[in-house]
Amino acid sequence: MSTAAPVLPVTFADVADAATTLAGVAHRTPVLTSRTLDGLVGGRVFCKCESFQRTGAFKFRGGYNSVSRLTGEQRRQGVLTYSSGNHAQAIALASALTGAHAIIVMPSDAPRTKRSATAAYLECAAEGESGPSRVVEYDRATQVREQVGGELAERFGMTIIPPYDHPHVVAGQGTAGLELFEEAGQLDRLYVCVGGGGLLSGCSLAAAELSPACEVVGVEPATADDAKRSFETGTIQRVHEPQTIADGARTPSIGEIPFAIIKRHVADMLAVSDAELAAAMRLCYERLRIVIEPTGALALAGAIKDARERPDLVRDRRIGVVISGGNVDLPRLGEFFALASEPLV
């Protein structure tokens, strides 16, 4: 009887192939360091700043890698996705760059900055059988986005590219980790935010190939801890409309494709409170001088939480942190910072 591990739905070879596709299109984002951050964590910290990516988040990587691989006919028929913001922007811009028609299903309460940016990108995308490329809103309280999107896609023969449960999306997101290891070298521990799991699973593939001893850690909001519970039980758990300032992590569950990879390559999963998240976010503004959204601070909040509660895991070690995005809703910035009980430094 064979004991060989099952073949994963995405491999490092797919990540490397995505890097070739994205070369010259996606930004190679900076890796920032800070002596203040090193002192706070107790190790050498390398922050991969996807807040400097096109559309302001890592999502452009997976979005472009997916849309660019569609046939000409598929692009003419149209691309459809559903997202609260960052994946929406990614698919909208990728569609504009590749001449595809697109419909983006977004919640009516999506952050204003993400909604307006998505609409602006779609102005440059192609028209299709359904009319101009556009945003279609839905009500989180009464509608299910997958159902709204599925009905539109069936009606107009469009290709659905979901936010995370898609092999080309996972492979594209993994290029952020690939670049981090190429620049920073071997790491002992890598912290990555997790909502649907696309970024975490993709980065874990890069870690397994380029820094095999690195422990990959997923970080999510405490009120949306479905990925942590899934990791601990070995089966996918769900959560319904969790209340958290990390809007990018308000996913109903982790994706099946990412979860298969996470079970193989992720070492640990953490949950942080909104207060811990806000404190990490404030640190980025005050000391790293970078614009960051709440979801973008999840990984850093996880590293700081470990430094306080499990210091042996990070002390004197080389630590990677993926800053996943910077699309903050500026009118709410004071509200976010107010959640932090006190500055970290």
| pLDDT tens per residue across span 2-39 | 566 788 999 999 999 999 999 999 999 999 999 999 99
Q: What is the mean pLDDT of the chain?
A: 95
DSSP state of 81: E
Q: What are phi and psi of 40, to 5 degrees?
A: -70, -40
pLDDT tens figures, 45-84: 999 999 999 999 999 999 999 999 999 999 999 999 999 8
* pTM of the entire predicted model: 0.96
Mean pLDDT of 255-274: 98
Tokens of 196: 């649907």
Mean pLDDT of 309-331: 96
- 90 pLDDT exceeds 80? yes
Among residues 83, 84, 201, 253, the one annotated as catalytic is 84
130 in active site: no
What's the pLDDT score for residue 240? 86
68 in active site: no
Among residues 59, 114, 228, 305, the one annotated as catalytic is 59
- 1 pLDDT exceeds 60? no
The amino acid at 115: R
Measured between alpha carbons, how far is residue 186 from residues 85, 181, 320 in Å? 33, 6, 10
Does residue 196 contact residue 146 with C-beta atoms inside 8 Å? no
What's the pLDDT score for residue 177? 98
Rg of the chain in Å (alpha carbons) = 19
Query: Of the candidates 29, 163, 14, 144, which has an alpha carbon nearest to the alpha carbon of residue 91?
Result: 163
Count of C-beta atoms within a 10 Å radius of residue 206:
27
Pairwise CA distance, residues 241 & 116, whole Å:
23
Query: Of the candidates 255, 34, 73, which has an alpha carbon nearest to the alpha carbon of residue 166?
Result: 255
What's the pLDDT score for residue 84? 82
pLDDT tens figures, 220-232: 999 999 999 999 9
Query: Of the candidates 223, 340, 324, 221, which has an alpha carbon nearest to the alpha carbon of residue 278?
Result: 340
Longest dimension (CA), the chain: 60
Pairwise CA distance, residues 217 & 194, whole Å:
9
Q: Please name the residue that has the structure tokens 């990677």.
A: 320
- 193 pLDDT exceeds 80? yes
